[in-house]
Amino acid sequence: MNLSQLLHNQIQLAIKGLYEINIEKVEFQLTRNEFEGDITMVIFPLLKIIKGNPIEIGTKIGNYLVDNVEEVIRFNVVSGFLNIVISDVYYLNFFNEIKNNDSFGFVTRSENDKAVMVEYSSPNTNKPLHLGHVRNNLLGFSVAEIIKASGKKVYKTQIINDRGIHICKSMLAWQKFGEGKTPKSSGLKGDKLVGNFYVKFDQEYKAQISDLITQGKTEEEAKKQAPIIMEAQQMLLDWEAGKPEVVALWKTMNQWVYDGFAVTYKNLGVDFDSYYYESNTYLLGKEVVQFGLEEGIFEKDPDGSVWIDLTADGLDRKIVLRSDGTAVYMTQDIGTAIQRVKDFPDVGGMVYTVGNEQDYHFKVLFLILKKLGFEWAESLYHLSYGMVELPSGKMKSREGTVVDADDLMEEMTDTAKRISTELGKLEGYSNEEKDKLFKTIGLGALKYYILKVDPKKQILFNPEESVDFAGNTGPFIQYTYARIQSISRKADFDLNVDITDISLHQKEKELLKQLELFPEVIQNAAQNHSPALVANYTYELVKEYNSFYQSVSILGEDDMTKKTFRVQLSKKVGETIKVAIKLLGIEVPERM
């Protein structure tokens, strides 16, 4: 039980005893720096149910707490705020409970709890992963890790968009202009090679449109009649008909892309438990439409198309089956969600990590699944996120102006190398150790810069700014962790003792208060699907530690009891930094 829970219960008892009133909620906040206290109760909300002077009410509650709660040693009341001072013993007991607990902050999963499936990445197989995919992957992976830490079983999955006209564009361009190139013969990663042909298709298509316009066609006619687009459309029909040579080329080129993606995922530090492919799922959901028709959830129009009318729910009519009987994306998503629960029967909810341009799609999808009567549909969440932009502006895949994920990771490592070298932080490192450190710092900077921002907000990504060794950055956090490890290495005395009787320095107390928040931060981050809460908590912890480090002597302290406690406290802060930052997929170096 943390401090606010303990006081919450006692204040409820105080108000019942003093005023014969039951209250449900007690509002707390951090005590302002100019007043003495460790936690502050806000009295103003009580004035709605208790008539009287807020100072008088606060004083009565404060006296009750001092008389009845051993952890409370004194208080002061300022206007409508009760500032409560907590004993050092409370914080020392708390610290001794957690200092050897490797899973501090984490909740052990209950076997009866339903699992959560988190979907992220979900790329197209016609181009490499780019900066937008980086945010998607980092968010999805981190949310999965945080939900796991909060006590749930988690499955990580993705659906790969491996069919459609965009895939055929790359295939056709390779047939026409590829000259038999393969990833091996070209020395290019497979996803990059295929992506180059997607760009090549677009260049050729634009040239043909331009030619047709000079021959007197309108732009609209030219777009439809350009030979290359007509060939791509025919190739899609051939694929759907199962034409052997088209299917063989499709399999070959997709495999090139999967092999390339695997390298990127490994470098980015993300993984998956299962994969779904649109080529296998695009027929799913059609039988559900039949069930929905029979139940009166869907309705058939005279042309044979099937719709759902959601106007009563504040949405619109949505098509779920075309008049020729083919599925639309919505049908496929309905079928895929149902299939996932069949494949993983313990799933009780799903998180879809998809950009905010799909907000409406997911509103409709979740509502349809609820109307179809699936219990787990009540626990579906769209982890909607804003776009990532660079100072130079938006990115466009088909024009080849995308920031490639691999290139970005390489650039981050190079930036870390340059800045670290300028700062002279590399004494005594071998070249291999340096390379590993640059990668750890560069990737840490990238991940932290993206994850510290609320998912719903857009990001303007600045690589230089992210690799700053001061401020709210990954390298600043990593550097503080490395500093703590240096202290631990130099502590050549027994740390395996419980210290129960010292007077705490205010900076020690502040650090312990920050540590105490960690379990609650994990639960809040899981409920809100927000790694930003973990990122910014870690930054606050690091700031608090650096303030402590500047204010008190640690290894130079003469009093052995105080010295031991300060090293123990440093060590626990370091462990908590490492655990918290790992939830964001970030590694920490042992020295920097």
256-271, pLDDT tens digit by residue?
999 999 999 999 999 9
Q: Do 575 and 450 sit in the same domain of this protein?
A: yes
Residue 110 confidence class, pLDDT cut points 50, 70, 90:
confident
Residue 62 belongs to a domain = yes
87-123 burial string, b = 16+ CB within 10 Å, else e? bbebbbebbeebbeeeebbbbeeeeeeebbbbbbbbb
Distance CA 258, CA 189 (A): 10
Q: Which amino acid is at 259?
A: D
Residues 6 or more apart in contact with residue 461 via CB below 8 angstroms = 131, 388, 389, 390, 449, 450
Q: Looking at per-residue confidence, does 398 or 326 come out higher?
A: 326
Mean pLDDT along residues 313-336: 93
Name the domain boundary from 30, 54, 86: 86
Distance CA 174, CA 381 (A): 39
**What proportion of the chain, given as a percentage, has pLDDT over 70?**
98
Mean pLDDT along residues 515-535: 97
User: What's the angle, vertex CA 428, arms to CA 427 and CA 429, rounded to 5?
Assistant: 95
Q: Do 418 and 559 sit in the same domain of this protein?
A: yes
Residue 537 belongs to a domain = yes
pLDDT at 111: 79
Residue 131 belongs to a domain = no
Q: Do 426 and 522 sit in the same domain of this protein?
A: yes
- Reply yes or no on whether the pLDDT at 490 is more than 70: yes
Q: Which CATH number do you get for residue 71? A: 3.30.1360.70
50-74, pLDDT tens digit by residue?
988 999 999 999 999 999 999 999 9
Name the domain boundary from 86, 116, 131: 86
Instruction: Specify which residues 83 forms β-bridges with.
Output: 40, 76
- How many C-beta atoms surround the C-beta of residue 297 within 10 A? 17
Residue 372 belongs to a domain = no
Residue 521 belongs to a domain = yes
Q: Do 443 and 555 sit in the same domain of this protein?
A: yes
- Reply yes or no on whether the pLDDT at 185 is more than 90: yes
Q: Which amino acid is at 338?
A: I
As for how many domains the chain has, the answer is: 3
Mean pLDDT along residues 476-501: 94
Q: Do 420 and 569 sit in the same domain of this protein?
A: yes
Residue 440 belongs to a domain = yes
Q: Do 191 and 60 sit in the same domain of this protein?
A: no
Q: Do 82 and 199 sit in the same domain of this protein?
A: no
Residue 152 confidence class, pLDDT cut points 50, 70, 90:
very high
Residue 577 belongs to a domain = yes
Mean confidence (pLDDT) of the chain: 93
Range of the structural domain that residue 433 is part of: 411-582
Name the domain boundary from 86, 113, 134: 86
Q: Is 292 in contact with 298 (CB distance < 8 Å)? A: yes
- Reply yes or no on whether the pLDDT at 101 is more than 50: yes
pLDDT at 397: 42
Residue 385 belongs to a domain = no
Q: Which CATH number do you get for residue 439? A: 1.10.730.10
Residue 460 confidence class, pLDDT cut points 50, 70, 90:
confident
Q: Do 540 and 453 sit in the same domain of this protein?
A: yes
DSSP states of 78-121: ETTEEEEEEPHHHHHHHHHHHTT-TTTT--PPPTTSPEEEEE--
3-state secondary structure of 75: strand
pLDDT at 392: 64
pLDDT at 424: 74
Distances (CA, A) of 329 to 306, 320, 335, 460: 14, 8, 10, 31
Q: Is 108 in contact with 384 (CB distance < 8 Å)? A: no
**What proportion of the chain, given as a percentage, has pLDDT over 90?**
83
Distance CA 262, CA 366 (A): 31
pLDDT at 404: 87
pLDDT at 398: 44
pLDDT at 4: 87
Q: Do 75 and 169 sit in the same domain of this protein?
A: no
395-423, pLDDT tens digit by residue?
444 444 568 899 889 989 998 998 888 87
Residue 425 confidence class, pLDDT cut points 50, 70, 90:
low
Q: Which amino acid is at 406?
A: D
Distances (CA, A) of 538 to 141, 220, 268, 575, 585: 18, 54, 21, 11, 13
